[in-house]
Structure 1
Amino acid sequence: MAFKQILIENLKSKIDEDKLHFLPSGFQRIGDIIVLNLNKEVLKYKKEIGKIVLNNFKVRSVCLKEGGITGTFREPQISVIAGDKCTVVTHFENGCYYNLDIKKIMFAKGNLSERVRIAKQVRHDEIIVDMFAGLGYFSVPIAKLGKPKKIYAIELNPVSFKFLKENLSLNKIEGIVEAINGDSKEEVLKLVENGVKADRVLMGYLPPPKEFLPYAMKIIKKKGFLHYEDLIRTEYVDEDVGKAMKLISDAAAAEGLKVKLLLAKRVKGYAPKIEHYVLDIAVF
């Protein structure tokens, strides 16, 4: 039976008939926790909905997404509506394990294919700098699925950094990935001073980290690759990609480099008429 139909069958005697179509048709599963989005029309039934989901699926907890990402460290707004109150979970995808607290750290399953796509591009013995590593969204699958020589995974958020360290151990990749707790601007300069040059730089952060572009260009090699994430208006894709490329080109020129756009790829929707894009860029 479909998810929505399960909810309808269990709630049709408690909810007005004209409200039933507002029930969710799907959910996000992270490890053994289910996360729901609920329409305001059925929000007052959240506890009942949580119990139904808990009773029909083999999960430990059911959580409600209450809003968007907030704060400097982009924390999700999530509450437990049924089951265990602990929100620390181990999630498994594509041969990789991720420990995280879903109340404190964002985990976008919509980026799953993107994590794999980037990992498959990595060539043998590459040196990679992940400027916004989080809990290892890209560094972990690249180390597990690709064959890099070294990944420098930089993360400012102390909570994310804690889980990043755990995930390196969990996936047995501590010898490949060096976790660095600090601001990317400062840490990239330290790496440059120590003679590090990257074959590939990842800038997987939203809103787009424009002010970090000069630092990415300081550490990237000629014939290297940059992966830059941006927010693009649905009706102005060419214009907005062009603006992003101008910023990237200017940052490259300051270091005596040139760039070429290889691919502008839509990752997922972000907001009404706004799309999450990644730009694959060759540096030469």
Structure 2
Amino acid sequence: MTRATCERDRLAVVVRRSEAANVIGMLLEGGLLDKRRKIVRRGGMVEIPVLKERAGIQIIEQQSPEYYLKMPELSDLLDGAIPERLRDLLPSGWFILGDTIIVRIHPALSEHKQIIGNALLRLYPRCRCVLADHGVRGQFREPCREVIAGTPGETIHRENGVLFKLDPMKIMFSQGNLKERMRMASLGKDEVVVDMFAGIGYFSLPMAVHSRPYRITAIEINPVAHRYLVENIRLNRVEEIVEPVLGDCALLTPEGEADRVIMGMVGITDRYLRKGIEALRHGGILHYHQNVPAWQYPDALMRPPVHAAALLGRSAEPIGCHKIKKYAPGIIHGVADIRIC
């Protein structure tokens, strides 16, 4: 091992414990977190191991790095159980949601999916179930999933100090939205907020737990998601902040009282822009989510809310755009932050 390699194996970011969750999320998003080493607490500070240096982040060289024991690879556990010609098609990643593993299985491996599921449970003994993911369906964007190992059921997912209870067979939870959920956790202090497509509280709960708005009106039309929203409000002890509303935000969005409106849906969001803009007071902030072609980003993302505001006789000032994730080949899920006056 070269000296340069040794130095890279010691690189870390040092932050206060209160900042650690946000920094870890950012490093995960950028592929910089070194998962071979443990995150180490030293007093009120936390050392987070990283793979390389990056502009704008202060890096130290750890004196005493701590390493995890090396986990076996999925392919190692399946040696001899999967035909050699199919080994390159094995999943390279998966999402752990509470105690449930969610994975996409290549169609050519369909007859081996139970073997793959059982191998994943061996890798993660604390998990109780593996679900094969086949996308979403219907008006409520319900997940298409099948049980390939273990026993399914409700789970509680812990993220950035927030608890999300849900049934992964009935409710979507996107790993790719982590960075945006963490960003929302830093906004809204003392404000009146309207969350127009609240789901189980994806954005309302981080904001309520960490920023403590004056009030959040969380509107959700899916009765199953709304039920979990109500339960998650109780689990996170934010009943005095978040008001859950069951129904269509086209009918139930309040007018002229919000400092901030979250429109966290994609595909149909533009149909509700009038209601979102009318909910805002003078100088309020609109968070408009939508899918746009990558080559048209960010203009195609900012244009609809600016145009909708003009039709209502209001001005719109774009103040930021954020890429959330790749939605499909050549398509970006993004969010535009627009100040509406």
TM-score for the superposition, normalised by structure 2? 0.76
Alignment counterpart, residue 45 of structure 1, candidates 101, 112, 133:
112
Change (3 A) 1:15 1:132: same
Q: Please tell me whether the aligned partners of residues 218 and 244 of structure 2 are also in contact (alpha carbons under 8 angstroms).
A: yes
Q: TM-score, normalised by structure 1?
A: 0.91
| C-alpha contact (below 8 Å) 2:196/2:261 kept by paired residues | yes
Change (3 A) 1:259 1:267: same
Deviation at 1:114, TM superposition (A): 0.4
1:168 aligns with 2:233: yes
Over 3 Å counting, the alpha-carbon distance change for 1:73 and 1:29 in structure 2 is same
Where relative contact order (Cα < 8 A, 6+ residues apart) is larger, the structure is 1
Higher helix share: 1
Structure 2 residue 338 is matched with structure 1 residue 281:
yes
Distance 1:50 1:236 in 2: 39
Instruction: Note if 1:14 corresponds to 2:81.
Output: yes
Which residue of the other structure, out of 27, 30, 54, is the alignment partner of 2:97? 30
Deviation string for 1:236-264 (max 9, x for gaps)?
224523xx42x312322343321111112
Return the alpha-carbon distance in structure 2 between the equivalents of residues 12 and 36 of structure 1. 19
1:212 to 272, 277, 293: 272
**Who is 1:130 aligned against?**
195
Alpha-carbon distance change, 283 to 83 in structure 1, aligned in 2, over 3 angstroms = same
1:140 aligns with 2:205: yes
| Contact 2:305–2:338 (8 Å) recurs in 1 | no
Aligned pairs (5 A) from 1:15-94: 15-57=82-124, 58-65=126-133, 67-86=134-153, 88-94=154-160
Say whether the 8 Å CA contact 1:208–1:229 is kept in structure 2. no
Mean CA deviation greater in 128-137 or 111-120: 111-120
Give the equivalent residue in structure 2 for 1:255: 312
Aligned-residue RMSD, C-alpha: 1.6
Larger Rg: 2
Cα deviations by residue, 1:42-69 (Å, 9 ceiling, x for unpaired): 221100111111122120111111x221
For the Cα contact (< 8 Å) 2:287–2:336, is it kept in 1? yes
Identity %: 37
CA contact (8 A) 1:208 1:231 kept: no
1:200–1:225: 8 Å Cα contact kept in structure 2?
yes
Structure-2 change in CA distance of 1:238 and 1:31 (3 Å): closer
Letter in 2 for 1:64: A
Deviation track 1:165-207 (CA, whole Å, cap 9, x = no partner) reads 000000000110000001101101xx33xxx610000000011
Shift of 1:211: 1.2
Q: Determine which of 151, 154, 157 is the counterpart of 2:219.
A: 154
- Residue-by-residue CA offset, 1:8-38 (whole Å, 9 max, x unaligned): 2222212222211111111100000101111
Residue 206 of structure 2 aligns to which amino acid in structure 1? P
Tell me how far apart the structure 1 counterparts of residues 135 and 300 of structure 2 sit (CA, whole Å). 24
Mapped partners of 1:36, 1:201: distance in 2: 33
Change (3 A) 1:64 1:235: same
How far off its partner does 1:100 sit?
Answer: 0.6
Preserved contact between residue 265 and residue 279 of structure 1 (Cα < 8 Å): yes
Cα displacement string for residues 215-235 of structure 1 (whole angstroms, at most 9, x for unaligned residues) = 111110111100000111122
Unmatched 5+ stretches in structure 2: 1-68
Contact 1:231 1:274 in 2 (8 A): yes
SS class of match (1:77): strand
1:107 partnered with 2:173: yes
- What is the total number of aligned residue pairs between the two structures? 272
CA–CA separation in structure 2 for the residues paired with 1:236 and 1:33: 37
Separation in structure 1 between the aligned mates of residue 81 and residue 191 of structure 2, nearest angstrom: 58
Q: CA deviation at 1:2?
A: 7.1
Return the alpha-carbon distance in structure 1 between the equivalents of residues 175 and 289 of structure 2.
16
* 1:267 and 2:327 matched: no
User: In the alignment, is residue 221 of structure 1 matched against residue 281 of structure 2?
Assistant: yes
SS in 2 for 1:68: strand
